[in-house]
Amino acid sequence: MDTWSRFLDTFFKPELIRQYLPSIAAGTVTTIEIAFAIVVTGILLGLVLAVLRTFRILPVNMMLVACVDIMRALPPIVLVLLVYFGLPNIGINVPSFAVLWIVLSLVLAAFAEEILWAGILSVPKGQWESARSTGFGLFSTLIYIVLPQAVRLTVPPLTNRTLAITKNTALGTVIGVPEILNQATTGQSFSGNATPLMMGAIAYVILFIPVVALGRFLETRFRWSRA
Amino acid sequence: MTGPILDIRGLRKSFGHVEVLRGIDLAVKPQELVFIIGPSGSGKSTLLRCCNRLEEPNAGTILVDGVDLMDRRTNINAMRRHIGMVFQSFNLYPHLSALSNVSLALRKVVKKSRAEAEALALTALERVGLREKAKSYPSELSGGQQQRVAIARALALEPTIMLFDEPTSALDPELVGSVLGVMRELKQDGMTMLVVSHEMRFARDAADRVIFMDHGLIVEEAPPSQIFTSPREPRTRTFIAELTR
Alpha helices in chain B (DSSP H): 44-50, 76-80, 98-108, 114-127, 143-155, 173-188, 200-206, 224-229, 234-244
Could you give the CA distance from residue B244 to residue B225 in angstroms, rounded to a whole number?
A: 14
Residues of A within 8 A of B150 (CB-CB) are 130
Mean pLDDT of B123-147: 96
pLDDT score recorded for residue B41: 87
Say whether pLDDT at A225 is over 60.
no
- The answer to whether the Cβ–Cβ distance between B153 and A225 falls below 8 Å is no
- Global pTM value: 0.86
B153 touches chain A (CB under 8 A): yes
Per-residue model confidence (pLDDT) at position A137: 93
The model's pLDDT over A17-72, given as tens digits with 9 standing for 90+, comes to 999 999 999 999 999 999 999 999 999 999 999 999 999 999 999 999 999 999 99
Q: How far is B45 from chain A (nearest CA, A)?
A: 14
Q: Does B139 touch chain A (CB under 8 A)?
A: yes
**Residue B207 predicted with pLDDT over 70:** yes
Band of pLDDT at residue A155, cut at 50, 70 and 90: confident
Provide the residue type at B143 as one letter. Answer: G
- Shortest CA gap A163–chain B (Å): 27
Q: Which residues pair with B28 in a beta bridge?
A: B6
Q: Whats the size of chain A, residue-wise?
A: 227
pLDDT by residue (tens digit) across B14-68? 999 999 999 999 999 999 999 999 998 899 999 999 999 999 999 999 999 999 9
Q: Are B8 and B218 in contact (CB under 8 A)?
A: no
Contact between chains at A135 and B157 (C-beta distance less than 8 A)? yes
**Collapsing DSSP states into helix, strand and coil, what is residue B209?**
strand
Which residues contact residue B131 at a Cβ distance below 8 angstroms, ignoring those fewer than 6 apart? B122, B125
DSSP secondary structure string for all residues of B73-89: TS-HHHHHTTEEEE-TT
In this predicted model, what pLDDT tens digit does every residue of A168-215 receive, in sequence order? 999 999 999 999 999 999 999 999 999 999 999 999 999 999 888 887
Number of H helices and E strands in chain A, helices first, is 11, 0
C-beta of residue A195 within 8 angstroms of C-beta of residue A13 = yes
For B159-204, the pLDDT digits (tens) are 999 999 999 999 998 999 999 999 999 999 999 999 999 898 899 9
Which distant-in-sequence residues (6+ apart) come within 8 Å of B52 by Cβ?
A: A133, B69, B79, B80, B83, B85, B163
Share of chain B above pLDDT 90, in %: 90
CA atoms of A196 and A177, how far apart (whole Å): 17
With CA atoms as reference, report the closest residue to A174 among A85, A59, A41, A101: A85
Distance from CA of B36 to the nearest CA of A (A): 20
| The pLDDT value given to residue A218 | 76
pLDDT recorded at residue A183: 94
Encode pLDDT of B62-109 as tens digits. Answer: 999 999 999 889 999 999 999 999 999 999 999 999 999 999 999 999
State the pLDDT at residue A160: 86
**Beta-carbon separation of B87 and A129 below 8 A:** yes
Say whether residue B83 is in contact with chain A using an 8 A CB cutoff: yes
Which residues are paired to B15 by β-bridges? B18
Average predicted confidence (pLDDT) for chain A: 92
The interface pTM score, or ipTM, of the predicted complex is 0.92
Axis-axis angle for helices B98-108, B143-155 (nearest 10) = 20
Question: Would you state the pLDDT for residue A220?
Answer: 76
Mean pLDDT, residues B113-121: 96
Q: Is the pLDDT of residue B1 over 70?
A: no
Span B215-245, pLDDT tens digits: 999 999 999 999 998 999 999 999 988 877 6
Mapped onto helix, strand or coil, the DSSP state of residue B159 is coil
As a whole number of Å, the CA-based R_g of chain A is: 22
Q: What angle do CA B216, B27, B58 make, to 5 degrees?
A: 45
The band of A227, judged by pLDDT with boundaries at 50, 70 and 90, is very low
**Average pLDDT estimate for B107-123:** 96
Closest CA to A47 of A101, A100, A116, A95: A116
What is the phi/psi pair of residue B61, to 5°? -120, 150
pLDDT at A61: 95
What whole-number distance in Å separates Cα of residue A171 and Cα of residue A181?
Answer: 8
Nearest-angstrom CA–CA distance, A125 and A151:
16
pLDDT at B144: 95
**What distances in angstroms separate CA A205 from CA A200, A213, A214, B179, one per listed residue?**
9, 12, 14, 56
A154 neighbourhood in chain B, CB within 8 Å: none
B182 touches chain A (CB under 8 A): no
